[in-house]
Amino acid sequence: MRAFVAIDLARDIRVELAKLQDILRSSGSDVKWVEPSHIHITLKFLGDINQAQLEKSRESLSIISKDFNPFYVSLSEVGAFPKLDYPRVIWAGVDKGREELVSLNKRIEEIFEKSGFPKEDRPYEPHITIGRVRSGKNKDRLKKIIMEHNFSLEAVMAVDKVTLYQSTLTAAGPIYTVLSEAKFKEQGA
């Protein structure tokens, strides 16, 4: 099964990101927009795993969750990877909670590497993927909207757990199934 570790987003953040997608969609660019119900913050993509790796992943998340207190995340600007002139992924950035996410990712990489998962070779950049560019159609209009529109992404959410998901790819899009959740320790515990 394909699996990844992520942070689920609060409903109000998904609603705000759906509105943002509608604004960007007006560019007429060729983008596959992520379904609002599927939007999340990825911490680590595991790829195809077997039952033994699933159990190791659950154990690893349990260990990691005891190292972190709940924290808050807010959104910032909108951008594109690798860069706005040649967009492949459209994202919303993370403002508040950025350092915590980087720290959480670092810990996940350390613990999962001990469980046999390869470490990611690129530095972790906290972001929320909202669309994937399929072609260059109207990319200049998309760039112009991103650069000129004053996006005020004001939703804030508490992060109190990490989730292990299974991703089943279908013709209609991915189906995400929660395999495990690990709650962070309580403040002051």
Catalytic residues: 40, 127
Give the single-character DSSP code of 36: G
Cα separation, 186 vs 165, whole angstroms: 23
Give the pairing type, strands 71-83 and 86-94.
antiparallel
* Token pair of 24 as six digits: 């960007």
Contact 9, 34 (CB under 8 A): no
Contact 153, 92 (CB under 8 A): yes
Cα separation, 88 vs 30, whole angstroms: 11
